[in-house]
Amino acid sequence: MELEALLTAALREAGYGPDAIGSAMPRIIRIMQAEDVRIEMGRALSRKEREYVRLQLELGLNVSEVVAGLQK
């Protein structure tokens, strides 16, 4: 099952309505992607790195692109 579909089903089961789910989903996905970056890096990220990751994800880069940018 796709991540977004799984999260949507879980939030519906928890009692959240379509409006709440729709407005929260992009933020939830970005948080999970940021955690994926941390896992790929294999260490905790500094405050500056976390800000970089947040900005890059908001711009639409994917996890592998963000990791590549941090490893330079």
| Burial class of 29 by CB neighbour count within 10 A (0 to 12, 13 to 18, 19+) | middle
Quick check: pTM over 0.85? no
Residues spanned by the domain of 67: 3-71
Residue 40 and residue 43: Cα distance in Å, rounded? 8
pLDDT at residue 72 in the model: 80
pLDDT at 3: 86
Q: What is the pLDDT of residues 6-63, one digit of tens each?
A: 999 999 999 999 999 999 999 999 999 999 999 999 999 999 999 999 999 999 999 9
How confident is residue 1, by pLDDT bands cut at 50, 70 and 90? Answer: low
Number of H helices, E strands in the chain: 4, 0
Number of domains in the chain: 1
